[in-house]
Amino acid sequence: MNYFEDQRNIINSKPFRRLADKTQVIVNLGQNAIIKTRLTHSIETASIAREIAANIGEIGKSGYKIDSDVVFNACLLHDIGMAPLGHIGETVMNAVVNKKFGLHFEANANNLAIINQRMPEINTFTILTTIKYPFLIKENEKGKGLYESQFAEFNDKLQLANLQQNRTTGFQRTRLIETDILEIADDISYLFGDFEDLIRVFKGNTDDLWNNIIESLETNNIYNFDIIESFKNCVFYKDFKKMNSIKSNCIKNVTFIGGSVGFKDTVFHNVLKSLREITWSEYILQFSIQNNPKLAEDWEHCLEYIFDNIYNTNVISQIIFSETLKKQYFSKIECPRFDDKLANDRDIAKTILFSISELSDTYALKCIEVYKENINKED
């Protein structure tokens, strides 16, 4: 398998390059080049995962070998279907299309949709590795999983890949080991990354922040001097050298144990728990779009306007930028594929939804501007 060619195709693709203008936490729009985006996060996740895969090496008596190139490429793809404006952007998109058409929008499932439409040549095993939630969305209370068409396409392939892997390793698993590596690399990347970004943008009282950090560390039984000093150096001196060392040790500590990928030492698991608590309360709730209700409301009203006007070609032409998708849209308008109106509505809405999911943050904000201009004209 030519995984290097896959890698080039991913990196040179438009969806991958758009991740440079997709929110990790802050809607940044190029204002601070140091703050992480979905692109920098995906690259770092891939780098971490490749190191973990190399460290784990072979598994089981038969010596199942983790292919670090597969893991690397899957990590490059793991956020390729992320909505504009972060997780709130995703949540609002799902709420609007579910209310109007009974459809779902879920970023992990959209990964497969993007890959299928934009990068169909990618190796099948790499695609299977990106599937973190191998079940139907409607059967999962958290709303994670696959669309029905995707489940029909990939379930048998995934079960076969799991069966072959289980026979080789001797473990009974329902998810690929490579996917476990992707997920733990993702956690390490975004948690350490969010903490670093928190320190860079934090303007509050550092003593209060430090007290909250100490409380979280103690709650999670972290009393290691070097770890505590690493956090302290970040908070008071914006010195990330020791924290990067902790991250490096965290990566090196990942292993395959008891049939799953995890940490040899619980202290590193606890460090991630603390980072998750700290970044959630001090960063995500304070700085993300979740703390910008006006933007979230504008995005919701914009989407409602768009999906109320799916047959208004003037409106939709303003928000579908891909010529390929425009052709799909007009084809569905001119030659409906179903006898049932709701089925046709859903079919057209899916094309529009896919187009919106590809938007960068900049173009999502342009859509909001277009919506407001149209509303003003109508008034």
pLDDT tens figures, 184-243: 999 999 999 999 999 988 888 999 999 999 999 999 999 999 999 999 999 999 999 999
Alpha helices in the chain (DSSP H): 3-11, 14-18, 38-56, 68-77, 86-101, 107-118, 124-129, 148-169, 177-201, 206-219, 225-237, 241-253, 266-279, 285-287, 293-308, 313-319, 323-334, 341-358, 361-378
DSSP secondary-structure letter at 260? Answer: E
- Sign of the torsion angle spanned by Cα atoms 29, 30, 33, 39: positive
DSSP secondary-structure letter at 255? Answer: E
Angle made by CA atoms 122, 256, 79, in degrees to the nearest 5: 35
CA distance linking residue 334 with residue 313, whole number of Å:
11
Looking up tokens 């080789």, which residue turns up? 168
pLDDT tens digits for range 22-39:
987 766 545 556 778 899
pLDDT of residue 87: 83
Instruction: Tell me if 197 sits within 8 A of 164, measured CB to CB.
Output: no
Query: Which amino acid is located at 257 in the chain?
Result: I
pLDDT of residue 204: 87
Supply the angle between the helices 107-118 and 341-358 in degrees, to the nearest 10: 90
pLDDT of residue 142: 74
- Global pTM? 0.93
pLDDT of residue 63: 85
pLDDT tens digits for range 308-328:
999 999 999 998 988 999 999
pLDDT of residue 289: 66
CA distance linking residue 191 with residue 268, whole number of Å:
12
Percent of the chain with pLDDT over 90: 78
pLDDT tens digits for range 88-138:
889 899 999 999 999 999 999 999 999 999 999 999 999 999 999 999 987
Instruction: Tell me if 36 sits within 8 A of 283, measured CB to CB.
Output: no
User: For residue 140, what pLDDT band results from cuts at 50, 70 and 90?
Assistant: low
Query: Which amino acid is located at 354 in the chain?
Result: F
CA distance linking residue 156 with residue 302, whole number of Å:
39
Residue ranges covered by each domain of the chain: 3-169, 187-290, 292-378
Residue 287 has pLDDT above 80, yes or no: no
Instruction: Tell me if 195 sits within 8 A of 216, measured CB to CB.
Output: no
Interval 160-182 mean pLDDT: 93
Instruction: Tell me if 178 sits within 8 A of 123, measured CB to CB.
Output: no
Among residues 170, 156, 179, the alpha carbon closest in space to that of 67 is found at: 179
pLDDT of residue 321: 86
Rg (CA), the chain: 22
Q: Give the three-class secondary structure for 146.
A: strand
pLDDT of residue 376: 87
Query: Which amino acid is located at 319 in the chain?
Result: I
**Tokens standing for residue 10:** 């991913």
Instruction: Tell me if 148 sits within 8 A of 110, measured CB to CB.
Output: no
**Tokens standing for residue 284:** 């995500």
Residue 81 has pLDDT above 70, yes or no: yes
At the topology level of CATH, where does 3-169 sit?
Hypothetical protein af1432 (1.10.3210)
Higher-pLDDT residue of 379, 363: 363
Residue 336 has pLDDT above 60, yes or no: yes
Interval 288-304 mean pLDDT: 85
